[in-house]
């Protein structure tokens, strides 16, 4: 039985706890993105499936933060210098482990957003089987990690007191628990690395073809008309690629994690190997090796990398919506201009799908286009390949995004 040490100076009033929990949803780094996303989409488009993924990703992550803040609502919080966070087993179950459930659900939603985007932009002839398998395995390792946190909970949160300089060092129960957690993280990072590799292989061929197409004179000229680019050369700039190619954004978002993951795997492996025989090591000497400081810094760095990956989800959606709206506006302008120049009085109304959901500039639907070079509506045949090649990716992105 762990003795309960009253430390009322560290207990936060209930009203402050409630306020802090509510604020967790607002100060969450994904909240501004969600707010802007809902604001831009409006009432007609908020029911898109991809919006639900992005909104619930924020909601579950923020709920985890709110639950994590409930630790200080316990009236028996231990003195900070003598007890490990979260101070007792009750807090570990009620707050931290339950918070991990919500954090994990939010991460899994983000992982599946990436899979759906890869499916939308990749070649339809490419088999997505390997991507699905690695994504599922990656998610299962996260779920397994949550389960193990409930199965193996430390009994003792009291630090050991050393007679040398009156300093504290980890007890064996806590040390074993930390090693278990980092072993779980190691397995998760390995599957994350494998998942990233399969995504890159799924995109590399299609991305290469698109880059080659964009760099040809005729196709870039058509692309230039649509994007109003000011470049005078035939090569797309880095900003152009970011704005117009979802495949490029996906790969760019993975670069940070791609280079970070091997480092994490190697570091965690060294830690586990050094401290795996925890029953025989000198915990006081181990504590002097800055184990806690190093692992804490590594965990913070891992959170930053994950934050970058998930932030790119929202950026990707904003750019898709922006490009769709820009192309729609330009087509309306060109259609009206051609009608006025040629005194065309045919009862024709140019239409496009305007729900940011499906069938944006559908190249499979000849009724969706009016060719810019002609003042007559092309109702029976699809527009020229040269003019619309730069729209093919956007159509693939938006028309398949909700499937």
End-of-domain residue from the set 329, 344, 374: 329
Q: Are 108 and 135 in contact (CB under 8 A)?
A: no
Tokens 């029911």: give the residue.
47
End-of-domain residue from the set 280, 309, 329: 329
Whether 319 and 196 share a structural domain? yes
Whether 390 and 323 share a structural domain? no
**Per-residue pLDDT at 33:** 92
Spell 55-68 as b/e; 16+ CB within 10 A means b.
bebbbbbbbbbbbb
Q: Render pLDDT for 290-328 as a digit per residue (tens, 0 to 9).
A: 666 777 777 787 888 888 888 888 888 888 777 776 766
Number of domains in the chain: 2
Whether 90 and 47 share a structural domain? yes
Sequence-distant (6+) residues with CB within 8 A of 182 are 268, 271, 272, 295
Instruction: Identify the helix (H) or strand (E) that includes residue 169.
Output: strand 168-169
Q: Are 239 and 279 in contact (CB under 8 A)?
A: no
User: CA–CA separation, 356 vs 353, rounded Å?
Assistant: 8
Higher pLDDT, 227 or 105: 105
Whether 308 and 367 share a structural domain? no
**Would 249 be classed as within a structural domain?**
yes
User: Quick one: pLDDT band at residue 361, thresholds 50, 70, 90?
Assistant: very low
Spell 386-398 as b/e; 16+ CB within 10 A means b.
ebbbbbebbbbbb
Whether 273 and 336 share a structural domain? no
**Any idea which of 1-5, 31-35, 64-68, 123-127 has the lowest mean pLDDT?**
1-5
**Would 3 be classed as within a structural domain?**
no
**Per-residue pLDDT at 252:** 73
Whether 354 and 325 share a structural domain? no
Whether 34 and 143 share a structural domain? yes
Is it the case that residue 230 has pLDDT exceeding 70?
A: no
Sequence-distant (6+) residues with CB within 8 A of 249 are 242, 312, 315, 316, 319
Of the candidates 3, 62, 59, the one whose C-alpha atom is nearest the C-alpha of residue 27 is: 62
End-of-domain residue from the set 268, 298, 329: 329
CB atoms within 10 A of CB 346: 9
User: In terms of residue numbers, what domain contains 356?
Assistant: 330-399
Tokens standing for residue 139 = 């998610």
Q: What crossing angle do the helices spanning 246-275 and 385-399 adopt, rounded to 10°?
A: 40
**Per-residue pLDDT at 387:** 38
Q: Dihedral of CA 309/312/314/316: which sign?
A: negative
Q: Render pLDDT for 37-61 as a digit per residue (tens, 0 to 9).
A: 888 876 666 677 888 899 999 999 9
User: CA–CA separation, 138 vs 136, rounded Å?
Assistant: 5
Whether 43 and 183 share a structural domain? yes
Tokens standing for residue 356 = 């940011």
**Would 115 be classed as within a structural domain?**
yes
Q: Are 51 and 37 in contact (CB under 8 A)?
A: yes
Is it the case that residue 250 has pLDDT exceeding 70?
A: yes
**Would 323 be classed as within a structural domain?**
yes
């Amino acid at each position: 039985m762990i003795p309960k040490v009253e430390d009322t100076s560290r207990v936060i009033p209930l009203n402050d706890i409630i306020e802090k929990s509510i604020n967790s949803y607002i100060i969450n780094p994904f909240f501004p993105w969600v707010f802007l996303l809902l604001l831009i989409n409006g009432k007609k488009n908020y029911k898109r499936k991809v919006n639900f993924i992005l909104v619930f990703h924020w909601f579950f992550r923020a709920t985890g933060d709110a639950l994590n803040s409930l630790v200080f609502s316990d009236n028996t919080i231990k003195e900070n210098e003598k007890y490990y966070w979260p101070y007792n087993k009750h807090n570990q179950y009620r707050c931290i482990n339950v918070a991990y459930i919500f954090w994990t659900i939010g991460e899994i939603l983000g992982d599946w957003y990436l899979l759906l985007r890869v499916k939308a932009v990749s070649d339809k002839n490419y088999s997505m089987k390997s991507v699905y398998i690695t994504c599922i395995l990656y998610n299962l390792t996260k779920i397994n990690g949550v389960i193990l946190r409930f199965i193996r909970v430390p009994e003792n949160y009291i630090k050991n007191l050393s007679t040398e300089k009156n300093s504290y060092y980890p007890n064996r129960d806590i040390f074993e628990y930390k090693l278990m957690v980092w072993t779980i993280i190691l397995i998760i990072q390995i599957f994350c690395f494998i998942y990233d590799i399969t995504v890159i292989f799924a995109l590399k061929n299609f991305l290469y073809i698109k880059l080659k197409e964009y760099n040809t004179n005729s196709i870039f000229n058509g692309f230039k008309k649509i994007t109003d680019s000011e470049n005078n050369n035939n090569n797309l700039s880095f900003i152009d690629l970011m704005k117009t190619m979802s495949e490029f954004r996906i790969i760019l978002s993975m670069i940070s994690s791609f280079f970070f993951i091997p480092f994490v795997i190697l570091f965690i492996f060294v830690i586990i190997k050094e401290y795996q025989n925890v029953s025989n090591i000198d915990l006081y000497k181990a504590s002097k090796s800055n184990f806690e400081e190093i692992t804490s810094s590594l965990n913070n760095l891992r959170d930053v990398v994950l934050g970058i990956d998930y932030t790119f989800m929202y950026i990707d959606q904003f750019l898709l919506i922006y490009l769709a709206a820009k192309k729609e506006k330009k087509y309306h302008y060109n259609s009206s201009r051609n009608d006025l120049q040629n005194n065309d009085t045919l009862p024709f109304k140019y239409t496009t799908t305007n729900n940011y959901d499906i069938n944006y500039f559908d190249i499979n639907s000849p009724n969706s286009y009016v060719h810019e070079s002609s003042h007559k509506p092309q109702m029976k045949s699809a527009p020229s390949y040269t003019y619309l090649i730069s729209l093919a990716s956007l159509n693939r992105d938006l028309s398949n995004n909700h499937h």
